[in-house]
Amino acid sequence: MSSLIDRFSRPINYLRLAVTDRCNLRCIYCMPPEGVTHLAHEEILSYEEILRFLRVAVKAGVSKVRLTGGEPLVRKDVEHLVEGIASLLPSLDISLTTNGILLPTKAEKLARAGLKRVNVSIDSMQPETYRRITRTGELRDALAGLEAALEAGLSPVKVNVVVLAHLPEELEGFVDLVRRLPVHVRFIEYMSPCGAMDRPYYVPAGEIMSKLVPYGNLQKAAPPPGAGPARYFRLPGAKGLFGFISPVSSHFCPECNRLRLTADGRMRPCLFSRDETDIKAVLRKGCADEDILRAIVRCLEKKPRDHGGLSSFAGRAMYQIGG
């Protein structure tokens, strides 16, 4: 049981940790076409600083750590960070969200280092649409990463699909994917204030569910490990599952158990929060463990009951916060 409890009596045991703000893709809902100005090297938390922070956080009750970015695999030797995190507690649930492009050369190393699970972001199974969304990516590279994760024994392997306007007409590829491979495809409602697009692309998850009906009767399924707020369903005969995450049409704030730490060491109590606690400043002034714990608790005290609606979002874009 976590000793980190927020003011609404929610136990907090999940940390989403951004290790970089850099990415090898330029997805239209995340970055402007001209790219972005990246943080300077000295502004990013070092691996040593991350592990110092995590030693305190894990002792206080954090039991799940997800590495995000940017694209976490573009950071050099990220498998060494995974190994360091795994050494803190054998039962620690370490996962990673990636676009999959670099997984063919990294998946085996990450699995040996202690990574348990991986989520691969693939927003279309049509090569042309995938390239349009990512601006620079090739679908075949992302799918090769998916296969590499399965071969490395990472489990479960999930596919994150941001629901954009094209998706209702392109579901057949994802249906084929879950029939063919033991992967869990999760449709995630698009949260427009976090993106960089200049027109609405939002499609509710319920519409996607209704569009899947012609492919077979969706049956409720038990969630796989690390399911979080997703609701899962199975198509008859499929090796994988479909999941639906609805932060807009049906938010899951009452059960929220997470904090976020940005690549430059700012802790956020909520994705949509205006409040940040400067963990980096605490770490770089020769602090004691008690000082780190107090900073975490200060952040928890600002955690809202719910996100207050998408119009409440302000401040940094998603790539700066961490997915």
Q: Give the pLDDT confidence score for residue 187 in this predicted structure.
A: 94
pLDDT, mean of residues 92-121: 98
DSSP bridge partners of 120: 98, 159
Residue, of 250 and 284, whose pLDDT is higher: 284
Summarised one tens digit per residue, pLDDT across range 22-55 is 999 999 888 877 777 889 999 999 999 999 999 9
Residue, of 69 and 320, whose pLDDT is higher: 69
Q: Give the pLDDT confidence score for residue 194 in this predicted structure.
A: 47
Q: Give the pLDDT confidence score for residue 318 in this predicted structure.
A: 67
Q: Give the pLDDT confidence score for residue 310 in this predicted structure.
A: 52
Summarised one tens digit per residue, pLDDT across range 6-19 is 999 999 999 999 99
Q: Give the pLDDT confidence score for residue 126 in this predicted structure.
A: 97
Give the Å distances, CA to CA, from 118 to 111, 142, 245, 310. Answer: 10, 13, 17, 27
* Angle of helix 139-151 versus helix 103-113 axis, rounded to 10: 30
Task: Tell me how many degrees the CA angle 209-211-217 measures, rounded to the nearest 5.
Answer: 70
- Residue 130 confidence (pLDDT) above 50: yes
Q: Give the pLDDT confidence score for residue 205 in this predicted structure.
A: 80
What is the chain's mean pLDDT, rounded? 90
Assess contact for 237 and 265: CB atoms under 8 A. Answer: no
Q: Give the pLDDT confidence score for residue 196 in this predicted structure.
A: 45
- Residue 67 confidence (pLDDT) above 80: yes
Summarised one tens digit per residue, pLDDT across range 191-204 is 654 444 444 567 88
Domain 14-321 has CATH 1.20.1260.10: no
How confident is residue 252, by pLDDT bands cut at 50, 70 and 90?
Answer: low
- Residue 263 confidence (pLDDT) above 60: yes
Q: Give the pLDDT confidence score for residue 165 in this predicted structure.
A: 85
Q: Give the pLDDT confidence score for residue 64 in this predicted structure.
A: 97
Percentage, residues of the chain above pLDDT 90: 72
| C-alpha span between 253 and 74 (Å, rounded) | 31
| C-alpha span between 51 and 81 (Å, rounded) | 8
pTM of the model: 0.92
Assess contact for 118 and 157: CB atoms under 8 A. Answer: yes
Question: Pick from 262, 264, 282: which is nearest to 273 by CA?
Answer: 262
Cis peptide before 156 (omega within 30 of 0): yes
pLDDT, mean of residues 84-100: 97
pLDDT, mean of residues 126-134: 96
* Range with the poorest average pLDDT among 55-69, 114-128, 263-277: 263-277
pLDDT, mean of residues 293-297: 97
- Residue 117 confidence (pLDDT) above 70: yes
* Range with the poorest average pLDDT among 26-40, 54-68, 256-270: 26-40
How confident is residue 118, by pLDDT bands cut at 50, 70 and 90?
Answer: very high
Q: Give the pLDDT confidence score for residue 37 in this predicted structure.
A: 84
Take residue 263 and report the two structure tokens written for it. 């690549």
- Residue 311 confidence (pLDDT) above 60: no
Assess contact for 94 and 86: CB atoms under 8 A. Answer: yes
How confident is residue 190, by pLDDT bands cut at 50, 70 and 90?
Answer: confident
Give the count of beta carbons closer than 10 Å to the beta carbon of residue 33.
8
Cα torsion 44, 47, 49, 55: sign: positive
pLDDT, mean of residues 199-221: 85
Q: Is 257 left (phi over 0), alpha (psi -120 to 50) or beta?
A: alpha
* Range with the poorest average pLDDT among 4-18, 76-90, 142-156, 240-254: 240-254
Cα torsion 234, 252, 89, 70: sign: positive
Write down the domain spans for the chain: 14-321
Give the count of beta carbons closer than 10 Å to the beta carbon of residue 150.
17
Q: What are phi and psi of 243, to 5 degrees?
A: -125, 155
